[in-house]
Amino acid sequence: EDSELGDFDHYMLKEIFEQPRALENAMRGRFSQDGSSSKFGGLNIGARELRQVERIVFCGCGTAWHSCLVAEYLIEKYARIPVEVEYASEFRYRNAPLDKDTLIFVVSQSGETIDTLAALREAKRKGYRTLAINNVVGSTIARETDGGIYQHAGPEIGVASTKAFTSQLVLVSMVALHLGRLRDMSFSAGVSFVNTLRELPALVEKTLLVNDQLKEIANRYSQFDDCLFLGRQLMFPVALEGALKLKEISYVHAEGYPAAEMKHGPIALICEECPSVFLVSGGEIFQKTIANMQEVKARKGKVIAIATDDCVIPDGLVDELVVVPAVDDPALPIIMSIPLQLLSYHIAVARGCDVDKPRNLAKSVTVE
């Protein structure tokens, strides 16, 4: 098995570096000929029905649940359809009242997670139309869903999800585009969306060049037992995933929060031993995020900023600055995820953890 590792020390690192290819595979053959929309072979649901959908409920667990949160931001923004996100385990037992024009969308890398499968079955029992995003071909969820989209990310061996996560992100973007173009997104907005996604594999390749820098940062911060991940809007789910990754493989206590929520609790944790990782992009919330960083700095907290290259960060505000390419919203969560994956990977290595097989975790959880 180890011969497949090539030059990499761990599957997780190998899979992080496979992301440009995994994204290409997820997108291949899935853009419309006029370059303004996306298309999926296995949805089994026509344009007319999709236009009638009045609400989408996304369900998943763990990392897949974070993909669902990104879907919420993107679908509401680009397709203007109300979206709710549920932990599959909660949805299943909650018996939520839903309209008949509600679509249930489950996301699962393995397609075998019992909670997600049970949520899907519950939705089907009640007569809702179901769709799934899933990586493992022929999995139980893939067989039972009414329609679906395969990720084609290839096998993911590392327990902590990396390439399967970003491949889910590109697909939820493409779903937002597809639904948007069936409703009121213009042709030119569609073309620009498609072009943003097409540039992604090359931009992820470029972003991966931060690996050496992240290794150095990880070595400086690996002794801390607490860490905050903060981001606003589309970067909030990415912050949650950054925190989950660090917890999973480094056993460091980490929390992800919307940056503005920090002052309602987590700010009490800030001290020299609790660094904060900020996700920063340009645009309307940039100044607000800077203000949040100042609140951390004023309390002697160390700040690691992951910022797009259109941001000018004031001098003296950050202890570490990692610069990534500026991209439009549909690609932003993917680009921002790369440095966070590398940070947790290198911290786990520095702490001597078993990166690919972290304690107490399983790749696919088939018990409730």
In whole angstroms, give the CA distance from residue 13 to residue 341. Answer: 9
In whole angstroms, give the CA distance from residue 22 to residue 135. Answer: 11
One character per residue 345-364, x = contact with ligand G6P (rule: CB under 6 A): ----------------x-xx
Q: Please identify, using beta-carbon distances, which residue of 53 and 249 lies nearer to ligand G6P.
A: 249
- Please state the φ and ψ torsions of residue 134, each to the nearest 5 degrees: -155, 145
Residue 151 sits in the site that holds ligand G6P (CB under 6 A): no
Other beta carbons within 10 angstroms of residue 114's beta carbon come to 17
Give the residue at shortest CB distance from ligand G6P. Answer: 62
In whole angstroms, give the CA distance from residue 200 to residue 202. Answer: 5
Strand, coil or helix: 53: coil
Q: Please identify, using beta-carbon distances, which residue of 98 and 118 lies nearer to ligand G6P.
A: 118
- Binding residues with ligand G6P: total (CB under 6 A): 15
Q: Please identify, using beta-carbon distances, which residue of 20 and 60 lies nearer to ligand G6P.
A: 60
For residues 322 and 336, the answer to whether their CB atoms sit within 8 Å is no
Question: How far, rounded to the nearest angstrom, does the alpha carbon of residue 232 sit from its chain's CA centroid?
Answer: 14
By CB under 6 A, the residues from 89 to 128 that bind ligand G6P are 108-110, 113, 116
Q: Please identify, using beta-carbon distances, which residue of 37 and 168 lies nearer to ligand G6P.
A: 168
Sign of the alpha-carbon dihedral angle for 302, 248, 60, 331: positive
Q: Please identify, using beta-carbon distances, which residue of 255 and 356 lies nearer to ligand G6P.
A: 356
Choose, by CB under 6 A, the member of 20, 62, 190, 301 that binds ligand G6P.
Answer: 62
**Who contacts 78 (Cβ-Cβ below 8 Å, separation ≥6)?**
176, 177, 179, 180, 185, 193, 330
Strand duo 55-60 + 102-108: pairing: parallel
Q: Which residue is catalytic, options 124, 206, 215, 363?
A: 363
Q: Please identify, using beta-carbon distances, which residue of 162 and 196 lies nearer to ligand G6P.
A: 162
Residue 166 sits in the site that holds ligand G6P (CB under 6 A): no
Dig out the tokens for 41 from the structure: 């072979």
For residues 296 and 323, the answer to whether their CB atoms sit within 8 Å is no
Choose, by CB under 6 A, the member of 23, 75, 159, 217 that binds ligand G6P.
Answer: 159
Residue 27 sits in the site that holds ligand G6P (CB under 6 A): no
Tell me the window of 58-66, 118-126, 171-179, 257-265 that interacts with ligand G6P (CB under 6 A): 58-66
Residue 292 sits in the site that holds ligand G6P (CB under 6 A): no
Tell me the window of 55-63, 143-151, 314-322, 324-332 that interacts with ligand G6P (CB under 6 A): 55-63
Choose, by CB under 6 A, the member of 57, 64, 238, 304 that binds ligand G6P.
Answer: 64
Distances (CA, A) of 248 to 1, 93, 165, 275, 335: 23, 26, 15, 18, 21
Dig out the tokens for 307 from the structure: 């910022």
Annotation marks residue 363 as catalytic: yes
Catalytic positions: 363
Q: Contact residues for ligand G6P (CB under 6 A)? A: 61-64, 108-110, 113, 116, 159, 161, 361, 363-365
